[in-house]
Amino acid sequence: MRSRCLPGRCGIARLSGAMADGSEDPAVFSSSSLPADPRLLATVTNAYLGTRVYRDTLHVSGVYSGAAGDTHRADVPSPANVHMAMPGAGGLDETFALDTRTGTFSHELRATDFVATQQIYAHYSLVHLMVVSITIRRSAHATRPITIQLQTPFEPKSQDLDLKQGPDFQGAHYVYGRTLVPEVRGGPCPAVHMLWTPVPGALTLRGEERERRWQFLTAVAGSEEGAKGSYRRGLACAAAGSLHRRHARAWAALWRGCSVELAGPLRLRRALRGSLFYLLSSITPHPVLPPHGISPGGVANGARGEDYWGHVFWDQETWIFPNILLFYPKAARAMLEYRIHTLEGALHNAREQGYEGAKFPWESAATGREVCPEEIYGAQEIHISGDVLLAFEQYYHTTQDQKLFREEGGWRLVCAVAQYWCSRMVWSEEEQCYHIRDVMPPDEHHCHVDNSAYTNAVAQRSLTFAADLARDLMFPVPEQWLRRARSIKVPFDAGKKYHPEYDGYSLGEPVKQADVVLLGFPLMHPMSPAVRRNDLEVYEPVTEPHGPAMTWSMFTVGWLELKEVQRAQALLNKCFSHITEPFKIWVENSDGSGAVNFLTGMGGFLQAILFGYTGFRITRSSLRFDPALPDDIHELNVTGVSYLGNKLRFSITREAMGIEVTESPRDPPALPLEAVLAGSGQRLPLHKGQRISLPTAAGCIRRPSPGTS
């Protein structure tokens, strides 16, 4: 990702343990005070809208303003920025908490005779709603009136929207408007319609009342009808006393289908829980909204001047997508649909640069055209197109969903990317192989290089997948795909037995972030264990120590592959310098600079657990496993793993592991599965509700071979 340090932010130190969460519950992050840096406040989001708590703006997925490189998430004024206070009251205990079980932020004021609790949440099932709820409850002996002050700086104005005031609706105020500047000339300016419950300056629990709750709703949609319908449904739920309960039920269902629990250090368990929570906050298991992609800072961030403007990068496919795919393939599918919907922009990008096919933008917003404000990244960091296709490949092998490719644009996209790679390659008479020249690899410290190992390897993988998919769909396979996949150069030093990052790379040159190590995972580029080890040994000491947060996760996966579990864990521990207290918000760089709520770093960290500790690998014919647990991890349980329509549970210790199919839908029918041990070849049928036990060793889950009962 391009380097973009915000004014006054570069060099800010990560918050230390001084504000560390004192709770033993790994699912609740609490503190008696808020972080001094407002960027590190908790975010409350769903797949459609989100905000940082106590921030005066919120954002809506897919709503951008600004042309080309200036396009950014449009700031929508937030009525949910409500502070609860009791000025002049002494002896108050104050707690701020983020409950990841229910996706709810709370602020509690506690005195001897009352408790006042504020909740803020982006409703997970009614996704157009943001809710602020305040409850005052008195002690049994108290009778005096209790008044809580509410402070809100809300003004219905925006620098990005032409907002107009409409008539009130069922007690709510109403504004509507469109973004001011389209992404491309003549393009659409998205509409925003917002209704909100007015917030008074104070709330009073009268002397005769024991408890009372006030609920303030904000409804946001792309149409007046949508906003009013959402507000009306919210009011009905509030009147029935079910508004928060319905939200909490949706989160409970989400966690039931997606559980990662380990017996190990509390710090690791909290980091795992927080990372998974923030990623899940960005998706819905059963998408109904048009897909708009996931940006590095999530929908809560991305205004002009922050968090890469809310643009979508390779971060979505390479770092976030595999974790979502493992549990919720429909949500992962929506991420792919975003790329299908922006394919016309990718075709435009390729034509503009003089190539055929589709060149996905380094930074994408609403149209798929390049919106990176710095030209060199869009022109040279072309591995993004291969990263996109790798996600399509992983999805296809996990689901066998041919409909996406036959009927819904997936095959056209695959063909267009393959065509792009073919047009981007040139034949070298001297080396008798294809080259890709003048690129920037993932290591953005270098540009204008030839034959980036990662870029060429991912291009090769794109072409191989395109050919394999064509055969599965019974389409003809263009010979040029096969020829170029066979004959592309992936730099390799046969004497030193490692992969140089690009032509002319000198040993010891500093590297920004994970690059060549990605050949081993996620690309699974063929190499011996000795070469894999050499790549790790060569690049670990020269990789920028305070660089992007996802880097050390990939080194961790590599060392786990080689069963160097303690070395792997030492590298994973470097990730903790990117996690801030008390709400487990990640920063892109360990000095505090870069994006915040950095989902990319969280995604890499989760992959170290979900693909490192387990050894999961998605291949054309199976889901492989090869567990490796560090000394301080005694057990790992992963529930909700999706494969070929089934849901599985894995329980792993150092000595033994159990595998169980927990769900096997009949409509459409899930494919039957078996477990196969790599060493002995033993085949164990998997049936719903029947747990099998086997030694902790390498193996795979696959469709049964003919003759297996």
Active site residues: 444
Residue 264: which of 525, 1, 604, 654 has the closest Cα?
654
Alpha-helix residue ranges (DSSP H) falling in 551-704: 551-561, 565-572, 599-607
Quote the distance between the C-alpha of residue 693 and its chain's center.
33
CA–CA dist 222, 210 (Å, integer): 40
CA–CA dist 194, 541 (Å, integer): 52
For residue 220, give the H/E element and its range: strand 211-221
Helix/strand/coil percent split, the chain, to 5:
30, 25, 45
Exposure pattern of 591-614 as b/e (b: 16+ CB <10 Å)?
Answer: bbbbbbbbbbbbbbbbbbbbbbbb
CA–CA dist 243, 106 (Å, integer): 16
DSSP classification of residue 317: I
DSSP string, 333-364: HHHHHHHHHTHHHHHHHHHHTT-SS----SSB
Listing from the earlier edge strand, what are the strands of the sheet with 161-169?
28-31, 93-99, 104-110, 114-122, 129-138, 211-221, 191-196, 172-179, 161-169
Quote the distance between the C-alpha of residue 74 and its chain's center.
20
CA–CA dist 689, 304 (Å, integer): 51
* 295 φψ region: left (φ > 0), alpha (ψ -120 to 50), beta (else): beta
Beta carbons of 384 and 199 less than 8 angstroms apart: no
Give 8-75 as a 3 state SS string: CCCCCCCCCHHHCCCCCCCCEEEECCCCCCHHHCCEEECCCEEEECCCCEEEECCCEECCHHHCEECC
| Phi, psi (degrees; rounded to nearest 5) at 411 | -65, -40
Which residues contact residue 427 at a Cβ distance below 8 angstroms, ignoring those fewer than 6 apart?
433, 434, 435
Beta carbons of 483 and 477 less than 8 angstroms apart: no
| Phi, psi (degrees; rounded to nearest 5) at 259 | -130, 130
For residue 204, give the H/E element and its range: strand 202-205
Residue 327: which of 392, 374, 240, 260 has the closest Cα?
260
Listing from the earlier edge strand, what are the strands of the sheet with 622-625?
617-618, 622-625, 699-702, 673-677, 683-686
First to last CA, the chain: 49
Strands 49-52, 76-77: pairing is unpaired
**Tokens 């959402």 identify what position?**
230
Cα–Cα distances in angstroms (integers) from residue 378 to residues 5, 279, 383, in the given order: 19, 26, 10
Q: How many CA atoms lie within 13 A of 52 on its CB side?
A: 20
CA–CA dist 122, 61 (Å, integer): 13
Q: How many CA atoms lie within 13 A of 31 on its CB side?
A: 19
